[in-house]
């Protein structure tokens, strides 16, 4: 976050060119504080140990992926490179809040925040183990000088598949607190995959969306202007039923009404942009969705300013079968030494000071 005097700096043309999901320009006559909130799927961030309670054997030194200390260290360095940059075009401190997915445990996050490029930000961790059979969880990192958690809990998925088997997947993480003096809640998600086909697995993601909506509804019942941010790899696009219908997320800010949420990622999706690629097609699975309170211009505290996908050229595969895809760590059983198979996303929030 930083204080910004926008007088004489921001032009309408620059806003149009740079801020694809901007709801309204910042007045050139006022000072604002800017804070960034983002999400990044870290693509199979496992430690080196074989945990007998989960299916992590492939990510061990003797496992299928020959997951060695050198690879682990390189992966950590790459992730730190990315996270140290996201949002710094808005504020030198970068992301005040980071939702993450595909982490094995708290230890890998403890190692990540100690990386040289991140250590000065003093990120703290909120994490709970999930029942996912591979052991991958979601988590939240935050800079304590900007965010003070007051409560955190996991929201269990608790559902049976159509065949009667129990679904073992990632819990949703709910963290509430004060964001630079502004009450906020964050829901970190990694919804069930499309394994078995999008249509056949749709009901699972619809259930995840409904769980998020129930939390939002309960918070808005207490405070109609509750500020809640949904972060995550949803394994669905902005126009999928889970997002558009069950979460009731709308892509046009002017049309957001009571009961709706606002999805600024919709504008990117309509332009054919994505955060992950599969079989030569882009998907925008990584999203940041906000409650309508962030759109109220006259309300005190933070409001939505803009959204972005962080996809610099170095994070894109340069050659080979996956040319043009996100530069990932593994592909087809081969170690590529990249970053992740997803691009991070983030929103900038502003408040007048």
**What are the sequence ranges of the domains in the chain?**
2-352
Both tokens of 316, joined, read: 């894109």
Cα separation, 44 vs 338, whole angstroms: 12
d(CA 246, CA 240): 9
Lowest mean pLDDT among 24-28, 39-43, 119-123, 247-251: 24-28
CA distance 36 to 123: 14
CA distance 8 to 153: 45
User: So what's the pLDDT on residue 3?
Assistant: 47
Q: What pLDDT is recorded for position 305?
A: 96
Radius of gyration of the CA atoms of the chain, in A:
19
Instruction: List the one residue out of 266, 345, 317, 291 whose CA is nearest residue 97.
Output: 345
- Whole-number pLDDT of residue 107: 98
Task: Assess whether pLDDT exceeds 80 at residue 1.
Answer: no
In whole numbers, what is the pLDDT of the chain averaged over residues? 91
For residue 183, what are the β-bridge partners?
178
For residue 63, what pLDDT is reported? 96
Q: Which residues contact 233 (CB under 8 A, 6 or more apart)?
A: 39, 41, 101, 102, 189, 190, 191, 285, 286, 342
**13 or 300: whose pLDDT is higher?**
300
The residue among 4 and 200 whose pLDDT is bigger is: 200
Residue 238 has pLDDT above 70, yes or no: yes
Other Cβ atoms within 10 Å of 288 Cβ, number = 23
Give the C-alpha separation, 309 to 136, whole Å: 24
Rounded average pLDDT over 61-90: 97
- Residues linked to residue 188 through DSSP beta bridges, in sequence order: 173, 231
SS3 content of the chain, % helix, strand, coil (to 5): 25, 30, 45
Percent of the chain with pLDDT over 70: 92
- Confidence check: pLDDT of 11 > 80: no
Closest alpha carbon to 318 in 339, 297, 348: 339
Dist. CA 231–CA 229, nearest whole Å: 6
- Which residues touch 19 (CB under 8 Å, ≥6 apart)? 305, 306
Residues found in the chain: 353
pLDDT at 10: 27
Q: Which CATH architecture has domain 2-352?
A: 4-Layer Sandwich (3.60)
Q: Which residue shows structure tokens 């009961």? A: 259
Residue 19: pLDDT band with limits 50, 70, 90: very low
55-66 mean pLDDT: 96
Question: Using 50, 70 and 90 to split pLDDT, how confident is the model at 21?
Answer: very low
* Pairwise CA distance, residues 86 & 143, whole Å: 14
**Nearest 5°: phi and psi at 307?**
-125, 155
pLDDT at residue 162 in the model: 74
- Please give the share of the chain, as a percent, with pLDDT higher than 90: 84
pLDDT at 315 over 70: yes
């Amino acid at each position: 976050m930083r204080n910004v005097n926008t007088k004489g700096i921001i032009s309408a043309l620059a806003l149009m060119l740079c801020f694809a999901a901007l709801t309204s320009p910042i007045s050139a006559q006022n000072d604002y504080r800017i804070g960034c909130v983002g999400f990044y799927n870290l693509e199979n961030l496992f430690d080196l140990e074989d945990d007998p309670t989960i299916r992590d054997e492939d990510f061990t030194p003797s496992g299928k992926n020959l997951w060695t200390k050198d690879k682990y260290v390189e992966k950590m360095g790459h992730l730190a490179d990315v996270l140290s940059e996201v949002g710094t075009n808005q504020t030198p401190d970068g992301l005040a809040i980071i939702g993450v997915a595909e982490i094995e445990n708290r230890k890998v996050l403890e190692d990540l925040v100690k990386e040289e490029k991140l250590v000065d930000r003093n990120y703290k961790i909120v994490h709970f183990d999930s029942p996912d059979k591979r052991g991958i969880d979601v988590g939240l990192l935050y800079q304590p000088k900007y965010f003070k958690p007051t409560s955190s809990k996991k929201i269990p998925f608790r559902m049976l598949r159509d065949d009667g088997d129990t679904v073992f997947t990632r819990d949703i993480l709910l963290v509430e607190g004060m964001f630079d003096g502004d009450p906020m809640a964050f829901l970190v998600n990694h919804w069930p995959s499309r394994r078995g086909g999008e249509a056949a697995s749709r009901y699972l993601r619809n259930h995840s969306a409904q769980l998020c909506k129930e939390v939002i509804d309960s918070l808005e019942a207490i405070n109609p202007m509750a500020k809640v941010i949904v972060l995550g790899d949803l394994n669905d696009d902005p126009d999928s039923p889970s997002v558009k219908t069950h979460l009731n997320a709308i892509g046009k800010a002017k049309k957001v009404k009571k009961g709706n949420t606002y999805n600024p990622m919709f504008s990117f999706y309509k332009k054919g942009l994505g955060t992950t690629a599969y079989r030569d097609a882009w998907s925008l699975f990584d999203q940041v969705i906000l409650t309508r309170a962030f759109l109220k211009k006259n309300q005190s505290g933070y409001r939505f300013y803009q959204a972005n996908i962080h996809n610099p050229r170095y994070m894109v595969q340069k050659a080979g079968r996956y040319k043009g895809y996100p530069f990932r760590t593994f592909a087809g059983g081969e170690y590529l030494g990249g970053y992740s198979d997803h691009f991070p996303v983030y929103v900038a929030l502003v408040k007048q000071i």
